[in-house]
Every structure is written in C-alpha cells, then in structure tokens.
Structure 1
Amino acid sequence: MSNKPIGLLDSGIGGLTVLKAAQAMLPDESFVYIGDSARNPYGDRTSAEIIQYTNELASFLVSQDIKMLIIACNTATALTLKQLQKDLDIPVLGVISAGSTEAIRQTQNGHIGVLATQSTVDSNYYAQTISQASPNMKISSLACPDFVQLVESNQYESVYAATVVEKTLQKLPDQSIDTLILGCTHFPLLAGFIQKAVGPSVHLIDSGALTAVNIGSRLDALGLRTGSCNRQTITLYTTGNVSLFNKIATKWMQSTDMKIKSIPIERLSSYVK
C-alpha cells in the first residue's frame, strides 16, 4: 500500500484525457500532472529535444515523491519509455501498448489506422508494436500536425476544427480501415469530429483511456494501491499560460477541485540529476 501520488507528464493539455480516465477509475488515488505547453507541440521537435524535455518533466515529477510515472504522451512514449524504465526506480508506463493491443482486438478486417504527430509516425513505434503482436495487420499512419494546436488553443470544438479534421482525414492512405487509433492524447478532444469524418463503421481507439486500466492493474500487481480512506487530490502544473490551461482543464475534467500551478521551463532543468 502507498498513499503517494501518481505522476503524469505530457507536452501540454492532451494528457488530461489520460488523467480524467484514471481519476474516475481510481477514485482513491491522488495525481500530480505536468503539461509542457510552453514548448508544445513536441511532434515537430527533434528527437534530442523531446528526450531532453521529457527527462526534465519526469525528474520534476520524481521530486514530487510519486509512486508511478505515466508518460501520457505518445511522442514521448515512443522516444523515452524504455530508457526511463531503466533509469527510474519506480514503475513507468506509456500510452502506446494499450492502444495497440485494443486495436488488434477490435479490428475485423485487419486494417488499422493511426493518427499521430509527425514524430510518432516517424518513430514507427505503433506499427512495430502492432506487427510484433499480430504480423498480418495492415497499418496505415497519418501525421496530423494541426490537431494538437486546435486543442492547445482551445479551438477543439469550433467549426474551424471540424473543417481541419475533415480535410486532414481525406489524406488517410488506407480508406478501408475499420479501426483507428487516436495516437496522440490530445486527439480524443477531437473524437466527435474524427468519428464524423471517418464514418460510424470505424471504431476509434482512445489509448489514453485504456492506459488507465493498465495503471490500475500495475498498482494491484505491485501492491501500490492507496488506502480506501484516502482523499483524492489532483495537482496540475503547466509551463504555459495558466489561465488558458485552467479554462481547458476545468472544462475537460468537469471539476474545479484541482490545484493548478505555473512552473517556468527555466526551473525544470534543475530537477535533472
């Protein structure tokens, strides 16, 4: 048993989709989240930059005495998961494995699509993960560089967002997919527009929500569950605009019972050992 919080990191707002699912599924657990909106989007960054930034965020969360780290960002998962699992003495989970497994389970025709950032697509992490588990799957990936900014700028419910999504998804290389992975934790906030663009017959996979199930399983396996009488607390940090982050977080999380704080990016490097 451990009453320490669970830490989550993301390039910005997107990881809140993981946090929302986790806090609902694990009502006695407490969470500390950091979103690096000041340096977002990660998908357009170099691999070296993404690794550096993720290490800084992870080090900050470790300083908050967390019992488990969730890389709630597909781009960061693809580039840093294995190394962080080696470097840290706490459990580290990413968001790609859960979505890949569920996509294989859901598909009927073996045609799986992946929407992600350019960096995640370039890493080929989803394709490798799926192919290793089920070699006969046909995987088609599409980089959607504009989607993240629609969310970060709080335009994800706008008519403009609907237009961007529709035009982007016309570029899907395989129009016969029956399963589509939302391979960025920002993308579930655009799920309604995405579903409309691809049609009702395509099953959307929210890897972030599925990761929440994995968190619970790992806590149980390692004996790290919080005592049932613990009061859940949620603390959110952002490197970006606190007012905008607060507005989106409060609306998406449907809660005002959260502490939202600012942390300058200049301070983050001091946490790296």
Structure 2
Amino acid sequence: MQQAIAVLDSGVGGLTVVKELMRQLPQEKVIYFGDTARSPYGPRSAGEVRTFTRQIVEYLIQFNPKMIVIACNTATAVAIEDIRERVSIPVIGVILPGARAAIKTTRSGVIGVIGTDGTIRSNAYEYALRLISPNIQVYSEACPLLAPFVEKGLFGADSANEVVEQSLRQLIGKPIDCLILGCTHYPFLVEAISRAMGPDVTLISSADETAREISTILYHRDMLTSSGQLPIHQFFCSGEPDLFKQIAQNWLKEQISITPVVWQVPNIL
C-alpha cells in the first residue's frame, strides 16, 4: 500500500502546498486535513494551536504516512518541535523554506513578512531569517483579515483588492525588495498582493518553497514513490465540507471527495 504525505492546515491554506506537491511529485499520494471548524489559528493562544496540531497528527497517523507537513505557519511556529518529539517520521514546516528563499532573493537585505497574528507574534520568521543572515532587516506585519477572507471563498471577489490594500498599508512604501507570504492562505490572493506592493517587490510563497523542500527530502531519503500509477488523494475537514470542496476543486482544478471529521474529544485537551 502506497504511503502518503500527510498535510495539515488550519483550513484551506495548505491546499497551496498540495497544489505544488501535485505538480512537482505527481506520483505521490496526499492525505490532507483542514481544520476548518476551528480556523483561523492566528488569534488563538500557542497552547491551543499546539493542542489542535497534536490532535490532527494523531488522527493522520492512523493512515501510516511517510511524512507530515505542517502547512500552517502559525502551527509551524509554535508546534513543530512538539510534533517531532511525538512521531518517528519526518515533520516539515513552512517557515524555514520561505526564509531561505527570501535570503536568496533579496538584493537589498531588507525583507518584509506578512502573516497571522500568531505567526508574527512568535517572531519565527525574523528568527529564521537572522539565523541565516544576521544583518537582514525585517519589516513584519500581521494581516488578520486575509486568512478568514480566503476561508470564506472570497479571494476572487472584487473586494479582495480593498481588503489586501487595507492589510498591507503599513508595508507599502517600505524599502523592502521581497515579501514573504507567511501564511499558506496568501497565495490565493497573490495577484492583489502583488498589485498592492508594486513590481519592485518579489513575493516569496512559503507554500511553493515547502513543496520543493519536501521533494528534496524525499529524494535524499530514497522515499519517492515510483509506482507509475496516479494516486488517489484523500481530503478531510472538520467544518462545512461543501465550501471546502468548492474551494479545493477550484484551486486544484480537479474533482475530489471530502470526508468530514467530527471531533470526539473536547477542543482543548
């Protein structure tokens, strides 16, 4: 039986990682869990996010995956080490890949980061960037409106430009030459973000970079699938399945089935 790559997120944002995985590694099976019933994670405490992430991983482990991808910046920032201590398979986050890509891209050494309240509050990107390059200057901005906007399926609406401009107003005009999209929901809004920031600012998608890192790790560990057969992916969500399915099919450009999951344990353990 083919082992899958298990991907989890607070909602639909991790589908941006899944889309790149499907493009780069078309033979790999993906099992995806979107915790849409408790999204967004950004305003929640670190303890809540760790509890939720642990609960989802415990659910996904039953499928015997070969790797776990925490495709949520907030969960990566506060929960990845906790999860690594609990499982024996590789656990990949989305922060270090995005930071490395920004360091490679920047010419001025001045980098912008946008993310949820939780991600920005953790200073995880600033720490990761300065760990690689101590003299980097970082402008960080929390954008709490954007992930819920995407979760509602409104990323294609005319109002997207207004919401994005409102969220980025503190960064527009700053001397940054690249901007890390520090939430996997943000690639859904990439056109509006690019329009707001202007042509001189390169956008760095942590989702795209994470998919590349997954590919590299699987290759070096000799864990790539070579069956020659196209996999059947599995998708789970804890909230309303119809909207999730609509967003997923629109983004992934393929028909999928969704299995709703009703938690049998309290939200806070």
Name the SS for the 1:229 alignment partner. coil
Aligned partner of residue 44 in structure 1, secondary structure: coil
Superposition deviation, residue 3 in structure 1: 2.5
Structure 2 distance, partners of 1:230, 1:79, is 37
Task: Check if 1:263 corresponds to 2:269.
Answer: no
Q: Which residue of 1 aligns with 2:50?
A: 51
Rounded Cα–Cα distance in structure 2 between residues aligned with 1:12 and 1:268? 19
Q: In 2, Cα distance between the equivalents of 1:266 and 1:42?
A: 20
Alignment match, 2:37: 38
Q: Tell me which amino acid in the other structure corresponds to 2:230.
A: R
Q: For residue 191 of structure 2, what is the aligned residue in structure 1?
A: 192
* Contact preservation (8 Å) 2:172, 2:196: no
Aligned partner of 2:17 in structure 1 is: 18
Quote how far apart the aligned CAs of 1:174 are. 6.7
Query: What is the distance in 1 between the residues matched to 2:21 and 2:62?
Result: 21
Any stretches of 5+ residues in structure 2 without a counterpart? none
Question: Quick check: 1:3–1:225 contact (8 Å CA) kept in 2?
Answer: no
Contact 1:236 1:260 in 2 (8 A): yes
Residue 110 of structure 2 corresponds to 111
For residues 226 and 74 of structure 1, the distance between their equivalents in structure 2, rounded to whole angstroms, comes to: 27
Alignment partners' CA distance in 1, 2:70 and 2:147: 17
Secondary structure class of the residue paired with 2:204: strand
Q: How far does the alpha carbon of each residue in 1:209-256 deviate from its partner, in whole angstroms, 9 at most, with x for none? A: 111111111111212111232331211101111000010000000111
Q: Which amino acid aligns with 2:264?
A: E
Cα distance change of structure 1 residues 174 and 110 upon mapping to structure 2, 3 Å threshold: farther
- Identical-pair percentage: 38
Pick closer, same or farther for the CA change 1:268–1:252 going to 2, 3 Å: farther
Residue of structure 2 equivalent to 1:237:
236
Structure 1: gaps spanning 5 or more residues: none
- Residue 199 of structure 1 aligns with an amino acid whose one-letter code is G
1:148 counterpart residue number? 147
- Matched residue count: 268
Distance in 1, Cα, partners of 2:266 & 2:18 = 21
Q: TM-score normalized by structure 1? A: 0.95
- Provide the secondary structure at the position in 2 that maps to 1:265: coil
Q: Distance in 2 between matches of 1:46 and 1:111?
A: 29
What's the counterpart of residue 246 of structure 1? 245
CA 1:174 to 1:58, structure 2 compared with 1: closer, same or farther past 3 Å? farther
Range with bigger deviation, 187-196 or 161-170: 161-170
Q: Give, in angstroms, the shift of residue 265 of structure 1.
A: 2.7
TM-score, with length taken from structure 2:
0.96
Q: What is the aligned-residue RMSD (CA, Å)?
A: 1.5
2:172 and 2:197 in contact (8 A); partners too:
no
C-alpha distance after superposition, 1:188-219 (max 9, x if no partner): 00110000000011000001111111111111
Between Structure 1 and Structure 2, which shows a larger proportion of helix residues? 1
What does residue range 195-214 of structure 1 map to in structure 2 within 5 Å?
195-214=194-213
- CA separation in 1, counterparts of 2:55 and 2:227? 32
| Alignment correspondent of 1:223 | 222
Structure 2 counterpart of 1:160: 159
Deviations 1:36-91 (A, max 9, x none): 01000000001110000000111111111111000000000001112211221011
**1:128 is matched by which residue type in structure 2?**
Y
Matches within 5 A, 1:58-73: 58-73=57-72
Aligned partners of 2:184 and 2:239: how far apart in 1? Answer: 18
| Inter-partner Cα distance in structure 1 for 2:100 and 2:253 | 29
For residue 167 of structure 1, report the CA deviation from its aligned partner.
1.6
Secondary structure class of the residue paired with 1:43 = coil
What one-letter code is carried by the residue in structure 2 that aligns with 1:259?
Answer: S
Q: Which residue of 2 aligns with 1:88?
A: 87
CA contact (8 A) 1:30 1:232 kept: yes
